[in-house]
């Protein structure tokens, strides 16, 4: 898979694709003409979500299956599951994800009466946990800060946000940047090595504070790039 790969030749899997973040990205990729497989614990719910996404996007390129089928059928796989199921899911998909580009967008956060905060992760970050559990995959981290509300709202034609893409494999991060660039208004920016993923994941807690204070769906733009 080289950096000039035509995205339309690829199948993008979305593990946890019935959740708001995965579903929203799948919708936008379907609109962009990309082929997507929604994964869920329940193949039936994945198939339902795929049908709903196709109806909303006016596409026919979205299919659904259980998470194992999704991982097996895809070339690039977004991990968009809740943090508390992250390790178990990836452990069970090690074989299906071998050799593939994995994009982790999971934010390990806790919530209390003072709002959101970053949870400690033994491996350093969700992305580094994925890397540890999937030694045969090419693990990247991206799409942490994209608002699921804005993704789902198709009256918003362009998303005013950049996506920090982290990873140690240049071809893999270039591919993931292209996946961000495929969504109008969104821009993929290389944001460092995977060892610097924790703060990108944790910054979601700050954006939640911004959203509460300003009644916004905040995103980030990188200036001077």
Q: By three-state DSSP, how is residue 217 classified? A: coil
Residues at the site binding a second copy, with contacts judged by CB under 8 A: 114-118, 147, 150, 160-161, 164, 166, 189-193, 195-196, 198-203, 205-210, 213-214, 216-225
CB of 164 to a second copy, least distance (A): 6
Expressed in angstroms, the distance from the first to the final Cα of the chain is 26
Q: Are strands 138-141 and 115-118 parallel, antiparallel or unpaired?
A: unpaired
CB of 161 to a second copy, least distance (A): 6
Residue 3 or residue 199: which is nearer to a second copy going by CB? 199
Show the CA angle centred on residue 16, arms to residues 104 and 46, nearest 5°: 145
CB of 192 to a second copy, least distance (A): 3
CB of 197 to a second copy, least distance (A): 9
Residue 154 or residue 222: which is nearer to a second copy going by CB? 222
**d(Cα 80, Cα 16) in Å, to the nearest integer?**
5
Residue 6 or residue 224: which is nearer to a second copy going by CB? 224
CB of 214 to a second copy, least distance (A): 5
**d(Cα 175, Cα 40) in Å, to the nearest integer?**
24
Query: What is the signed CA dihedral for 133, 137, 140, 144, rounded to 10 degrees?
Result: -60
| DSSP 8-state class, residue 9 | G
**Which token pair is 78?**
């977004």
Residue 60 or residue 155: which is nearer to a second copy going by CB? 155
Residue 16 or residue 219: which is nearer to a second copy going by CB? 219
């Amino acid at each position: 898979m080289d950096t000039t790969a035509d995205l339309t030749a690829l199948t993008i899997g979305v593990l946890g694709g019935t959740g708001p973040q995965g579903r929203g990205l799948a919708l936008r990729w379907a609109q962009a003409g990309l082929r997507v497989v929604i994964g869920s614990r329940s193949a039936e719910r994945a198939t339902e979500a795929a049908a709903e996404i196709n109806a909303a996007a006016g596409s026919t390129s979205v299919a659904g299956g259980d998470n194992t089928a999704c991982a097996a059928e895809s070339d690039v796989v977004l991990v968009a599951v809740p943090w508390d199921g992250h390790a178990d899911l990836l452990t069970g998909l090690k074989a299906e994800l071998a050799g593939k580009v994995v994009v982790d967008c999971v934010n390990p956060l806790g919530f209390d009466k003072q709002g959101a905060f970053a949870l400690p992760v033994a491996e350093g970050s969700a992305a580094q946990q994925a890397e540890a559990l999937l030694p045969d995959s090419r693990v990247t981290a991206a799409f942490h800060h994209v608002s699921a509300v804005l993704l789902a709202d198709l009256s918003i034609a362009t998303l005013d946000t950049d996506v920090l893409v982290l990873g140690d494999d240049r071809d893999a991060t270039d591919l993931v940047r292209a996946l961000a660039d495929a969504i109008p208004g969104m821009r993929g920016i290389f944001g460092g090595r995977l060892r610097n993923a924790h703060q990108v994941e944790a910054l979601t807690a700050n954006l939640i504070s911004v959203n509460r204070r300003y009644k916004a769906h905040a995103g980030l733009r990188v200036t001077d790039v």
